[in-house]
Amino acid sequence: MDVSDSAPLLQLALRVEHDIFLVRQRGREVAAVVGLEHQDQVRMATALSEVARDLLRTSGGADVTFRLTDDADVGRRQLRVDLAPVTPLPDGRYEPESAAVARLVDKLGVVTGKGDTVVMMSRRVPVAAPTLTPERLAEIRAELARSAPGSAVDELAAQNQQLIAALDEVRSQRDELAVLNDELQETNRGVMALYNQLTEELEETNRGVVALYAELDEKSAQLRAASESKSRFLANVSHELRAPVTAIMGLGRLLADSASDPLTAEQARQVGLIRSSAADLLALVNELLDLAKAESGRIEPDWTEVDLRPVFGQLRGTLRALATGPDVALVVEEPPTPATLRTDEVLLGQVLRNLLHNGLKFTQRGEVRLRARREGDRWLLSVSDTGPGIPEELHGRIFEEFYQVPGATRVGGTGLGLPYARRLVTLLGGTLELASEPGRGSTFTVTLPVGGA
């Protein structure tokens, strides 16, 4: 709705000092009847009296018009007051004496309507205010026209009342603020206490972790020392045993020699037993020595470019003699070319021989097969047999020193072959894995990097 079209609710003339009171008082009345809240009525009235005072001084007064209009910006009703100065505003501009005045209303400024420059201020009517029908507006107009304005003293008294109310309001707000402040401080103290407690707990936990780590370090040092002394002990004992066992074997050979005095059949049998026991003992001592050396890190692989074909050829030749049973075949497949990798030829030969040897030892029927397969940058060398197989739960244990699957001992052995083989494969930068099931044979797979460790 255009401002000029809406009929004025009230019009006043501001000409003398006394009129300021009048404008203020009537302004509050109008604000009240259109539905502004009490606080807003006072704000509007105060702003009006301030602007009225300014205009009386600068322009010799003004014609004051109150209207109820629509605020197009927010689609709400607003109480709008136009103050048309008696003489034009200096430079056509208006600045309130006190900047705070503008904050008392929604809008305060200069508008130009029908060639005149007018000071305008407005305040929005709350949504909850009762709707004003055209009839009610007409009534209001009539009421306002009828009601006689009070005296300056009346207005002063009213103003005093408002001031007291405002002071009260300020005081209660200050009290509320103090309460809030207290609460905030309380919360702050709580948060600080919690923070301190958490920090303490964290430090405590930290200290615990540090202590635990120290203990762990100490334990692993002890473990390392124990393992080293075990290896040293094994190496020393087996080394010391080798000489006397070799001597026993030599003496046995001498006794059985045809150039020596002839033995009775029984003596010859017993000497034979001594020799074979000594041979077993020497094998055990040698294996122990190998393992101890591997564990103590005294084996240094001799890295060279190795061709698998001659390695396989040699294994085929030396192990064929072991595959004595007519029911077991030793199959060494030809490796796919180029069959080279960087590794230690002797150690690799030892590992494969050990696995093939086991396969032949434990397989009664079928075959033992060595096969090489290239997968990316790795070689997979597998020894599979059609032997008894190994139960899943023992797959870890057979790599432990001296462990032998119960019932399999009758074929001889020491239980040191597999741990030694795995040790060597690790030294070569690879892994030794087992896939096996009872009744389905076993497959030991050595995986080695093509480029060495």
What residues line the site for ligand ADP (CB under 6 A)? 358-359, 362, 385, 387-388, 390, 398, 403-405, 408, 413-418, 442
**174 versus 397: smaller Cβ distance to ligand ADP:** 397
Find out whether 364 and 394 touch, Cβ atoms under 8 Å. Answer: no
| CB 359, min distance to ligand ADP, A | 5
| CB 394, min distance to ligand ADP, A | 8
Distance CA 240, CA 260 (A): 29
| CB 245, min distance to ligand ADP, A | 18
| CB 218, min distance to ligand ADP, A | 33
Q: Which two tokens stand for residue 372?
A: 């090489």
Angular region, 61: left φ>0, alpha ψ -120 to 50, beta rest: left
Distance CA 187, CA 189 (A): 5
Distance CA 19, CA 21 (A): 5
Q: List alpha helices for 257-307, DSSP H.
A: 265-295
**54 versus 295: smaller Cβ distance to ligand ADP:** 295
Find out whether 125 and 35 touch, Cβ atoms under 8 Å. Answer: yes
- Work out the number of other CB atoms within 10 angstroms of the CB of residue 43: 21
Distance CA 392, CA 394 (A): 5
| CB 427, min distance to ligand ADP, A | 17
**244 versus 366: smaller Cβ distance to ligand ADP:** 366
**61 versus 388: smaller Cβ distance to ligand ADP:** 388
**29 versus 385: smaller Cβ distance to ligand ADP:** 385
- Work out the number of other CB atoms within 10 angstroms of the CB of residue 98: 12
Distance CA 27, CA 10 (A): 9
Query: Are β-strands 378-385 and 442-449 bridged in parallel, bridged antiparallel, or unpaired?
Result: antiparallel
| CB 304, min distance to ligand ADP, A | 27
**341 versus 421: smaller Cβ distance to ligand ADP:** 421
Q: Which two tokens stand for residue 418?
A: 């597999």
| CB 395, min distance to ligand ADP, A | 10
**35 versus 413: smaller Cβ distance to ligand ADP:** 413
User: Taking Cα atoms as reference points, which of 76, 54, 67 lies closest to residue 7?
Assistant: 67
**56 versus 428: smaller Cβ distance to ligand ADP:** 428
| CB 406, min distance to ligand ADP, A | 8
Distance CA 75, CA 398 (A): 89
**Four-CA torsion 356, 361, 362, 367, nearest 10 degrees:** 60
**37 versus 401: smaller Cβ distance to ligand ADP:** 401
Q: What is the largest CA-CA distance in the chain?
A: 161
| CB 344, min distance to ligand ADP, A | 20
- Work out the number of other CB atoms within 10 angstroms of the CB of residue 388: 18
What radius of gyration do the chain's Cα atoms show?
Answer: 55
**64 versus 418: smaller Cβ distance to ligand ADP:** 418
The residue sitting closest to ligand ADP, measured at its beta carbon, is 413
Q: Which two tokens stand for residue 364?
A: 């009664």
| CB 404, min distance to ligand ADP, A | 3
User: SS3 for 206?
Assistant: helix
Distance CA 297, CA 311 (A): 25
